[in-house]
């Protein structure tokens, strides 16, 4: 059994929140936006197509606005979830069949426990000195190396790799793109 007592602070929480952004906005998306914007500039100067320049600029601005909105909502979520309810600590316990997250609210006077099966997780990121656990897009937890109170960090990482499905460790998943039907029949 592994137990971690996590003191919640804003910087670590927002780091965990920003890391989840990689699921939707990574290097590939940045490169594609750059190509789109450069293509709009080239089309403007070569063919005098101002419409393409405007559309690529609008796309770039909308993407920037969505990323900034995501970062703002992460800060707002921290304020509402932790500062407003005076939540300062999580106790995260991993055992053979399930993991439990105990949230200590009102400066430790009240606590609520959430018990989950190992299949009930959205994503997991294993970093060198911390673990990011995303139980849903809006519910995130982190464990730092120094937060371990029972068991050590390296053994916990091996335990997590054993218990969770390997696809949970990939922030992005490739989806096979195909038509709903194949008019030529199955491939042989």
- Is residue 134 within 8 A of residue 20, CB to CB? The reply is yes
Q: Encode pLDDT of 51-102 as tens digits.
A: 888 888 898 899 999 999 999 999 999 999 899 988 989 999 999 999 999 9
Confidence of residue 12 (pLDDT cuts 50, 70, 90): very high
Residue 178: predicted pLDDT: 57
Residue 185: predicted pLDDT: 57
Residue 145: predicted pLDDT: 92
The yes-or-no verdict on residue 172 having pLDDT over 80 is no
- Is residue 93 within 8 A of residue 159, CB to CB? The reply is no
Q: What is the DSSP string of 81-105?
A: IIITTT--EEEEEE-SSEEEEEEEE
- Tokens 């500062």 found at: 83
Cα–Cα distances in Å, from 109 out to 19, 99, 103, 105, 150? 31, 22, 11, 6, 23
Confidence of residue 29 (pLDDT cuts 50, 70, 90): confident
Contact residues for 176 (Cβ-Cβ < 8 A; gap 6+): none
The yes-or-no verdict on residue 113 having pLDDT over 90 is yes
Residue 177: predicted pLDDT: 54
pTM assigned to the model: 0.78
The yes-or-no verdict on residue 186 having pLDDT over 60 is no
The crossing angle, in degrees rounded to 10, of helices 50-78 and 27-47 is: 150
Q: Encode pLDDT of 16-28 as tens digits.
A: 999 988 878 888 8
- Give the pLDDT mean for 151-165: 92
Mean pLDDT of the chain: 87
Residue 93: predicted pLDDT: 95
């Amino acid at each position: 059994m592994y137990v971690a007592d996590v003191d919640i602070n804003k910087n670590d929480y927002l780091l965990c929140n920003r890391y989840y952004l990689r699921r939707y906005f990574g290097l590939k998306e940045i490169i594609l936006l750059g190509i789109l914007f450069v293509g709009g500039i080239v089309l403007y100067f070569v063919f005098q197509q101002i419409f393409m320049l405007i559309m690529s600029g609008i796309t770039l601005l909308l993407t920037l606005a969505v990323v900034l909105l995501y970062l703002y909502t992460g800060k707002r979520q921290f304020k509402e979830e932790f500062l407003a309810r005076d939540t300062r600590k999580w106790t995260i316990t991993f055992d053979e069949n399930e993991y439990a997250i105990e949230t200590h609210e009102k400066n430790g006077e009240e606590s609520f426990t959430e018990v989950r099966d190992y299949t009930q997780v959205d994503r997991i990121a294993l970093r060198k000195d911390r673990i990011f656990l995303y139980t849903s897009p809006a519910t995130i937890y982190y464990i730092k190396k120094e937060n371990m109170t029972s068991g050590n960090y390296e053994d916990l990482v091996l335990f997590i790799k054993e218990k969770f499905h390997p696809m949970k460790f990939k922030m992005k998943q490739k989806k096979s793109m195909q038509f709903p039907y194949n008019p030529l029949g199955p491939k042989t």
